[in-house]
Amino acid sequence: MNNVQKSFYDETHTIFGHHKNKILQWIFSIDHKRISLMYLFVMLAFFAVAVIVALIMRLELFSPGQDFIDPNTYNQAFTLHGVIMIFLFIVPGIPAALGNFLLPLQLGARDVSFPKLNLLSWWLYVFGALLAVASLFIGDGFADTGWTFYAPYSVKTGTNVVWALSAAFILGFASILTGINFVATIHRLRAPGMGFFKMPLFVWGLYATSWIQILATPVVGISLIMVILERTLGIGIFDPTKGGDPVLLEHMFWIYSHPAVYLMILPAFGIASEIVPTFCRKPIFGYHAIAISSAMIAGVGYLVWGHHMYTSGESEMIKLIFSALTFFVAVPTGVKFFDWIATMYKASIDFKTPMLWTVGTFVTFIIGGLTGLIVASVGVDVYLHDTYFVVAHFHYAILGGVVFLMFAGFHYWFPKITGKMYDEKHASRAFYVIFVGFNMLWFPMFLAGMFGMPRRYFDYLPEFEIYHKVATMGSWLFALGLIYMFATLYRGWRYGEKAGANPWNATTLEWQIPSPPQLENFGTIPYVDFMPYEYKDGEPVHHFDLAVKEDSPHE
């Protein structure tokens, strides 16, 4: 491939025709690759904010007693941290950023089904984000309800709950639009010959996720609207003084928010399923099982929301049912882990940075997942509910599962997105720093939680001091590691060597085109009558050159 080829960084389609201004060319671009990068940058900016807020909280918890934040500010801080991390970072995270970039590339499509909708979704996302930020500076400041917005407190508190709720609603809308776009794309724009069971597994993860986005997000949307109406008009639906039932809000909230955690993890699992065969140089073990287990996790994961409510007054009967269903979700998840391990078995594994991240995640996510089973049992959870055990559990699952795999994906697709290579040595060192820091940060919290340290407190009894001290020091190490990692990636982007089309010898379609990809991705579209991960003797079986050429049939 020659160097004069134009990539999507040089030319683009915009919604209003041509713009001279570079910035306008970005923010009005309807190219899925540009939109994904815009998502990525806004998302990472908010990630940075939320991490800083978290570090401040950890600093406050370094020693017992009130140090420098008062209780109310602490409440607002964890709400801000939770809202940003969930609604602004991790829910759009993998689908809208990495997924948007890769879905058409992996399917052999030139864009998503509705490019304009894609742009609209980004605009809504930015708008929602601005609303959330604006509420920080108005009146009594950011909501202090926790990211769960439980009534009746969310109806009574004086802080800007309505703003936060509207922001969450709009962000939900953005996420729905992404979901619609992806399902339509996957159904309509697969390359000829690519049946559902010839799609890469990342696409399977995105497919399951998109369905959750479509079918679960509206439920929380309408319940948030009802809380808004409750605050502004007093319709009484969630207000116990008017006969309303706050537990109903909890139901409706978790009908979305529990599937939402599977919405986060499924594409992350998809990333793992891409990376494992590539660095084991082997076809993946149990392709069908992994694909179907994604759909199963999505389906069953929809029906377990009640396990967040064991202590909030739902009936004993439903507790039993939800507990049983929750244990059941572990089965398809276990299937995936089994398949990955079986793929790695007897392979000559190449421990490049993406693979390191993936294997590291196997450790942390297993801890997060198994502690999930502990809190899934009703009796134990009554004791552990609302302690740091739960906080540690979901940080292990979300941070140690989703975010780690997202980082794995960043490293894996970095050469495709930028066309450059990062420094392998520094990148793997950054992994070790983060991994150690992460475990230091959250493992002590399991213990503290087990001994009764409640969550959402700005203060604690002296006997918990040692755990909090270790955790806070871990948080510093973790933050250092993050800086190290992003600095390495930044240096790779600016000064790295050219990566070439297929640096990892991977098999899926996105590696058969130049890096960075050209405007409409593919010059010729291949006929896909093969499985996604076909290796023979450690080499990919199929090679294509699908770049856009001067005389390509398409434009």
Partner 1 sequence: MNTNSNQELHPVKSSVYINVFYLLIGLTILTLAQPMVIDLDLGSTLIVQLGIAFTKAILIVAYYMHIKSSSSLFKKLIYTTVVLWIVLYTLMAIDTYYRYTPNDLFR
Partner 2 sequence: MSNTVSTEPEIIYDKQGNPHEVVDFNNDYEGAKLGFWLFLFTEIMIFGAMFLVFGFYLFQNTPEFMQSSGELNRVLGGTNTFILLLSALCMGLSLVKLRNGQPNTSKKFIWATIVLATIFLVIKYIEWSHEIHLGIYPGSPTLNEMENGTKLFFGLYFTMTGLHGLHIIIGIGVMFWVLALINSGKITSTDFVVLENTALYWDLVHLVWVFVFPIFYLIY
Residue nearest to ligand HEM (CB): 82
Would you give the binding string for partner 1 spanning residues 229-258, x where CB under 8 A is met? ----------------------x---x---
Mapped onto helix, strand or coil, the DSSP state of residue 538 is coil
Q: For ligand HEM, which residue of 456, 498, 536, 542 counts as binding (CB under 6 A)?
A: 456
What 223-228 contacts at long range (C-beta under 8 Å, 24+ apart), as own/partner pairs, is: 223/249, 223/252, 223/253, 223/256, 224/149, 224/165, 224/166, 224/168, 224/169, 224/172, 225/165, 225/169, 227/149, 227/151, 227/154, 227/155, 227/161, 227/165, 228/162, 228/165, 228/166, 228/169
How many residues make up the chain in this entry? 555
Nearer Cβ to ligand HEM (482/528): 482
Report whether 74 contacts 458 (CB < 8 A).
yes
The residue from 248, 289, 436, 531 that contacts partner 2 (CB under 8 A) is 248
79 binds, among partner 2, partner 1, ligand HEM, none (CB under 5 to 8 A by kind): ligand HEM
Q: What is the rounded distance in angstroms from the CA atom of residue 79 to the CA atom of residue 133?
A: 12
Q: How many residues bind partner 1 (CB under 8 A)?
A: 15
Rounded CA gap, 42 and 97, in Å? Answer: 10
Q: Which is nearer to partner 2, 437 or 526 (CB)?
A: 526
Q: How far is the CB of 108 from partner 2 (least distance, A)?
A: 9
Nearer to partner 2, 236 or 286 (CB): 236
- Out of 70, 424, 529, 545, the only residue in the binding site for partner 2 (CB under 8 A) is 529
Residue 398 makes contact with ligand HEM by CB under 6 A: yes
DSSP 417: H
Binds ligand HEM by CB under 6 A, chosen from 38, 86, 275, 367: 86
Are 111 and 520 contacting, i.e. CB atoms less than 8 angstroms apart?
yes
> Does 302 participate in binding partner 1 (rule CB under 8 A)?
yes
Stretch that binds partner 2, among 227-235, 299-307, 350-358, 377-385 (CB under 8 A): 227-235
Smallest gap from residue 303 Cβ to partner 1 (A)? 6
| 183 scored as a contact of partner 2 (CB under 8 A) | yes
* Segment near ligand HEM (CB under 6 A); pick from 7-15, 296-304, 339-347, 396-404: 396-404
Site stretch for partner 2 (CB under 8 A), options 186-194, 326-334, 360-368, 452-460: 186-194
CB of 145 to ligand HEM, least distance (A): 8
**Among 35, 46, 131, which residue's Cα sits nearest to residue 88?**
46
Does 171 sit near partner 2 (CB under 8 A)?
A: no
Distances (CA, A) of 372 to 24, 368, 377, 554: 46, 6, 9, 50
- Pair 505, 543: CB distance under 8 Å: no
C-alpha to C-alpha distance for 352 and 365, rounded to whole angstroms: 20
Q: How far is the CB of 299 from partner 2 (least distance, A)?
A: 15
57 binds ligand HEM (CB under 6 A): yes
Selection from partner 2, ligand HEM, partner 1, none that 64 binds (CB < 5 to 8 A by kind) is: none
Alpha carbon distances (Å) from 371 to 267, 333, 449: 21, 14, 12
Amino acid identity, position 85: M
Cα separation, 418 vs 410, in Å, equals 11
By the rule CB under 8 A, 215 interacts with partner 1:
yes
Strands 539-540 and 535-536: antiparallel
Extended strands (E) in 396-546: 535-536, 539-540
- Which residues of this chain interact with ligand HEM, rule CB under 6 A? 51, 54, 57-58, 78-79, 81-82, 85-86, 89-90, 146-147, 391, 395, 398-399, 403, 441, 455-456, 475, 478
Q: Which residues bind partner 1 (CB under 8 A)?
A: 187, 215, 251, 255, 302-303, 306, 313-318, 320-321
Binding site for partner 2 (CB under 8 A): 109-115, 117, 176, 179-181, 183-185, 187-189, 191-193, 214-219, 221-223, 226, 229, 233-237, 242-245, 248, 252, 255, 524-527, 529, 553-554
